[in-house]
Structure 1
Amino acid sequence: MVRLGIAMIGVLFFQASISQAQADDWSGFSFGAYTGIGLSHNSARSVTFNESSFGSAQSISGDDAEWNGGFAISASWQMQSTVLGVAIDFDPFGTTQQIECRLSWAAGWDSNVFVSDEGLGSCARDVSWSASIVGKLGWLASDSTLLYGLGGWTTSRIRQSFEWPSSLDSSSQTLSGVTVGGGVEHRLTANWHLSVEFRATMFEAKSVSGVSKELNAPQFTEIGGDVETVRFGLTYFVPWR
């Protein structure tokens, strides 16, 4: 009977040791969701013309704050106080951003009558979706708190449109750029983690060639910009062992 009691105590102690090891282990797989607010610094310009008409747009102020969110999966490996990781996230919801633009229009070049106009208007930018893959390098400030830096790549599908003049058609392009940042991740329980993160993405500028339907003429558009985002994430963590 005594031996049985000792054996039971040993089993309970062994199980408690395993549970504690799993609770303190940052090697595992995570999946969850995030939301945040991003400040976009957008740029856009477009021009179209034929033998008798001309239209153009140039962004003059591109800062716009928008809420965003999506889903994320990640894997991490702990080596003493260092944690290496890789994460993939996807925002299927997108955002609509407004850019103030200087817009101009002219007509009558091939006649004796010349009409021109210039003013301020809105250049709307619809971000259809965004996806990114980043690597993470972290340090355990405690058993339950991880400080980390990150770096990787982000891709977004963007549709740029112009409120006025109507001779400018909308243009779509997929922009990509380098993403850098850092954050703090805290273990709420053995499986639930909460994180606060800052990311900055510098998108490359891309040119798009198209045709203005109104003028039946070539249209050239350049889209660019970058975005800074503060994100809050909640993930479910599953240890490797």
Structure 2
Amino acid sequence: MKRLLLAGVAFSVATAASAADMPARPYAKAPAVVSPAYNWSGFYIGAMGGFGWGGSDSDGSGGFGGGTIGYNWQLPGSQFVFGVEVDAAGASIKDSVTEDIGGLLVTTENKINSFGSVTGRAGFAMDAALIYAKGGYAWANNKASISALGTTFSDSQSHSGYTIGGGLEYLFTPSWSAKAEYMYTSLGGETYNFGGFPLDSGTLDFHTIKVGVNYHFR
């Protein structure tokens, strides 16, 4: 019996020692989950509105509202975004001046009824945020009038020129973004006809600050 008991103890000790010498089972760490990077590529449409005011020769100001359509290109792995954008807005940016000309009170008024642009856009994306600059062709429809002695003459003309500026856009969901933008617009002069008397308007310059929201098709 003693021999059997000693043999059992010896077998148990040998088994424990053999198990202690075996290498530990390797531990595999779960792979980290990486969120996909934002990509700005694709078509988008949106609504925008804001406030505009005249250039150095005008104190006119007023509001506007309209829409936007565009397309962005962003190559995979790149933070640079390029695109084209078209926008148009109805507006009420007006300036009115009354002057005494030889004892005759004459009131002149200019009102931008609508404007728009076709621009190129270049930006730098930081995930959901996009800082960009843009510039290109711009147009505006302006109504000018002259009033004196109870009589008013008016005419409307479309001006064309350029616009330049920039802004910040942020994707608050994968498909929706909000933006804030400043633009300077300079348009060439046109000849207005006031009761048979032509008058050159000179350049039409104005500034705008706009905010908007865009929907991105994915």
How far is 1:188 from its partner? 0.5
Which of 192, 214, 217 is equivalent to 1:235? 214
How far is 1:67 from its partner? 1.2
Aligned counterparts of 1:164 and 1:85: Cα–Cα separation in 2? 49
Letter in 1 for 2:91: G
**Which residue of the partner structure matches residue 70 of structure 1?**
66
**Which residue of the partner structure matches residue 11 of structure 1?**
none
Higher relative contact order (CA 8 A, sep 6+): 1
The TM-score with structure 2 as length reference comes to 0.76
Q: Deviations over 1:165-204 (max 9, x none)?
A: 5566112111111100010011100011000100000111
CA 1:103/1:72 → structure 2, altered by over 3 Å: closer, same or farther? farther
How far is 1:164 from its partner? 2.2
Letter in 2 for 1:88: V
Letter in 2 for 1:86: V
**Which residue of the partner structure matches residue 29 of structure 1?**
43
**Which residue of the partner structure matches residue 89 of structure 1?**
87
Confirm or deny: 8 A CA contact 2:60 2:93 kept in the other structure.
Answer: no
CA 1:94/1:154 → structure 2, altered by over 3 Å: closer, same or farther? same
**Which residue of the partner structure matches residue 191 of structure 1?**
175
Q: Calculate the aligned-residue CA RMSD, in Å.
A: 2.2
Structure 2 spans left out of the alignment, 5+ residues: 1-32
Letter in 1 for 2:217: V
Which of 142, 163, 172 is equivalent to 1:158? 142
Is 2:133 the counterpart of 1:136?
A: no
**Which residue of the partner structure matches residue 30 of structure 2?**
none
Letter in 1 for 2:81: V
How far is 1:148 from its partner? 0.5
Runs of 4+ in 1 over 4 A off after TM superposition: 165-168
Letter in 1 for 2:215: Y
Aligned counterparts of 1:146 and 1:128: Cα–Cα separation in 2? 31
How far is 1:122 from its partner? 3.6
Determine which structure has the larger strand proportion and give its number. 1
Aligned counterparts of 1:211 and 1:34: Cα–Cα separation in 2? 34
**Which residue of the partner structure matches residue 18 of structure 2?**
none
Aligned length: 183
Confirm or deny: 8 A CA contact 1:32 1:235 kept in the other structure.
Answer: yes
**Which residue of the partner structure matches residue 177 of structure 1?**
161
Structure 1 spans left out of the alignment, 5+ residues: 1-15, 44-61, 105-115, 213-217
Aligned counterparts of 2:158 and 2:56: Cα–Cα separation in 1? 14
CA 1:127/1:65 → structure 2, altered by over 3 Å: closer, same or farther? closer
Aligned counterparts of 1:101 and 1:29: Cα–Cα separation in 2? 47
**Which residue of the partner structure matches residue 103 of structure 2?**
117
The TM-score with structure 1 as length reference comes to 0.69
CA 1:133/1:164 → structure 2, altered by over 3 Å: closer, same or farther? same
Letter in 1 for 2:206: V
Is 2:96 the counterpart of 1:99?
A: yes
**Which residue of the partner structure matches residue 198 of structure 2?**
220
